[in-house]
């Protein structure tokens, strides 16, 4: 992994709103893939695979859901 790669933008799990927390979950999931496969060309090719594969799209949703669970709890669910 590249030492300079940022895995969490802003180095914080705290966001102003649930929507921003959801975007952070998507970004964090993507940055792990980027860290594991740093080659942008290969990632682009893989994207054309998973974006048209129903099973992989569902699996991406599962990963985002797990990241979002953590972010939501960190923000105490934005309740108050």
- R_g of the chain computed on alpha carbons: 14
52 binds a copy of itself (CB under 8 A): yes
Residue closer to a copy of itself by CB (options 40, 79) is 79
15 binds a copy of itself (CB under 8 A): no
What span, in angstroms and rounded, lies between the C-alpha atoms of 63 and 17? 20
In three state form, how does the secondary structure of 9-43 look? HHHCCCCCCHHHHHHHHHHHHHHHHHHHCCCHHHH
40 binds a copy of itself (CB under 8 A): no
Closest CA to 67 of 1, 10, 7, 5: 7
In the complex, minimum distance from the CB of residue 26 to a copy of itself, in angstroms, rounded to a whole number: 7
55 binds a copy of itself (CB under 8 A): yes
**Residue ranges that bind a copy of itself, judged by CB under 8 A:** 1, 6-8, 11-14, 17-19, 22-23, 26, 28-29, 32-33, 35-37, 42, 46-47, 49-70, 72-74, 77-79
């Amino acid at each position: 992994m590249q030492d300079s790669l940022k895995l969490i933008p802003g180095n914080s799990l705290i966001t102003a709103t649930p929507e921003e927390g959801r975007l952070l979950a998507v970004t964090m999931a993507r940055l792990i893939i980027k860290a594991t496969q740093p080659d942008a060309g290969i990632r682009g090719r893989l994207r054309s695979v998973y974006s048209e594969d129903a099973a992989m799209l569902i699996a991406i949703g599962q990963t985002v859901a797990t990241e979002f669970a953590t972010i939501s709890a960190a923000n105490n669910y934005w309740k108050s």
